[in-house]
Structures are given as structure tokens and as C-alpha cells.
Amino acid sequence: MKVTLPEELASKKIILCKEEPFFISPEGEGLWTGRLCAWMRTSTCNLSCAWTNSDGTVTLCDTPYTSHKPTKYAVTMQEAYDSLMNANAHYVSISGGEPSSQKSVVEMINYLEDSGKRVKVETNGTQFFESKATLISMSPKLRSSSSGLRTMSNPDYHQQDTNNFLNTTNFELQARHYARLNERHESMRYNLDSMKQFLDYYKERVIFKFVANGASDIEEIIENYVKPLNIPSDQVWLMAQGVTSAQLNEKAQWIIDECKKYSWNYADRVHIRVYGNKSGV
């Protein structure tokens, strides 16, 4: 049942990305794969993921317009709530960027749940929050998530990212920029206390979705996450790093073999296979 939010909340601002901030599409990865969702994509992120690929190229996160160069579109909480409630989908997926960075987003989750929607929140797990969300889809960022930042911090690296997003020819300036991002990213990406709070509070309503880029990531997942947090194997999902079908295919068999070894779940990226790396899908 749709409601009018309390006046002090209704006018609060939420910062979304400009690139189709609201859309409807089936979930493409993780536990809800295939479920039709109404999406809201927030802007800005406290991390700046970038991976170095096996061929030496660099892939930024799949939504660099919310992180590396965030575009911003302000709406009120009431406008965001109405858009999601009016959407022809039972499920809501709130993604980013990093949704937990905005208190107004967290406040709205409870109103959506109380109004009959089932909400999933995509988060990197660095900033714990309490809510009535049906599912917390947590994607902690491994060491490999900063490998591209280190690569692009080298002024001798004269390639564009594989997203063709940066479009820079000033590689000395780029090197300084990514050195600063790497320092910030590494200082914030691993927050064990926050992740423990998520597990203690949400229990089986939280899954861990790890983006794997190479063999060293598996050992890191086990030693830095699964063991210290005692994560049940059925709450672990493993997904290949990549923003093209070719990149996903390169790692798919290896990822599945690792899932078999540790009784983990395999996460594909159906939206990339169907549409490519586009916004609003």
C-alpha cells in the first residue's frame, strides 16, 4: 500500500546517477537472478574499483559514472518512493555507487518494505546500516580490485581503460589521480567489523558476492572473509570480474570449478551477456 512519507522525510534529497536512475529489469546476478526488479541507482561511492586484466588492460567498475566520475541527479525521497512503488515489479533493487553512503536511502527502505515491496540492497559492506531489507547483497572488494589503480598510477602506462570511459591523454595527471584513489581505496575497502555487524543483524538475509579476478583471490576470500566471519558456504557467491561476455567466458569454467570445490554458489552476469555493459539494464 502506497503512503505519503512524513513531511520531514518526504523532502529529503537522494542523489542518483543521471544515466537512467530508475528502470525495470530482471536481476542479472546473485541470489535473485531472473527476478523482475524495479531499480534505483544511487551516485557516488567511497571506493574506486579497477582491475588489471591478464592482457595488461584495466577494467573500471561496471558503473564508473557512479564512482570514478559520478554524475548526479537529485530527487526527493517522496519522488523516489513513488517511482519504485509505481513500477510494475514486486521486487526493488537499490544499487550504486554505494547506497549506504546516503542516510535518506537507508530510511526509505523500511517504507518500501512496509508498503509491500521486497528490497535488495547492493553494498560493498564497509558501512553497516540497520533496515528491514529482504536481502543484503554484499560485494566486499578484494585486493585485486585496486590492481588497476596501481597499474594506472604508473605514468608509463599509456592505455585507455577497457570501458573507454576516461578518455584522457594526460597520463602523468592520470597517474597522480589514481595514486590518490589507490591510497583511499585500500584504506577503506576492508572493514571486518562492519561485515560482522551485517551478518549478526541480517543473518541469512545477507549474501557475500565476491568478484574474482585470479587464483590469489580465492585464498583471500577464505582467509580474510569466510574463516574470520564464519560465513556459511551457501551464503557465498563467486562471480568473474569482467564487463564483456568474452571476459566472463575467460574465467567462467575456473570460477565454477572453485564453486564446486568449496560448495559456493556461481554468479553469472546475465545482463551483460544480453545487453552488453550498458546502463538501465
Higher pLDDT, 31 or 168: 31
Given pLDDT bands bounded at 50, 70 and 90, which one contains residue 167? low
pLDDT value at position 157?
Answer: 84
- Is 163 a residue whose pLDDT tops 80? no
CATH topology of domain 7-275: TIM Barrel (3.20.20)
Domain locations along the chain: 7-275
The DSSP result for the chain, as a single string, is ---PPPHHHHT-EEEE-SS-SEEEEE--SSTTTT-EEEEEEB---S---EEE-TTS-EEE-S-GGGTTS---EEEEHHHHHHHHHHSS-SEEEEESS-GGG-HHHHHHHHHHHHTT-EEEEEE-SSS------SEEEE-PPPGGGGHHHHHHTSTT-----TT-------HHHHHHHHHHHHHHHHHHS--HHHHHHHHHHHGGGEEEEEEE-SHHHHHHHIIIIIHHHT--GGGEEEEE--SSHHHHHHHHHHHHHHHHHHTPEEE--HHHHHH-S-S--
- Report whether 52 contacts 151 (CB < 8 A): yes
pLDDT class for 202, splitting at 50, 70, 90? Answer: very high
Question: Would the pLDDT of 149 be above 80?
Answer: yes
pLDDT of res. 28? 92
- Mean pLDDT over each residue of the chain, to the nearest integer: 93
Q: Give percent above pLDDT 70 in the chain.
A: 99
Residue from 209, 59, 206, 39 nearest 133 by CA: 206
Q: Tens digits of per-residue pLDDT, 248-264?
A: 888 899 999 999 999 99
Single-letter code of the amino acid located at 165: F
pLDDT at residue 162 is higher than 80:
no
Residues 270-274, mean pLDDT to the nearest whole number: 83
| Amino acid, res. 214 | G
- Residue 38 predicted with pLDDT over 80: yes
The set of cell numbers assigned to 187 is 584504506
Stated pTM of the model: 0.93
pLDDT tens, position by position, 75-102: 999 999 999 999 999 999 999 999 999 9
| pLDDT on residue 168 | 67
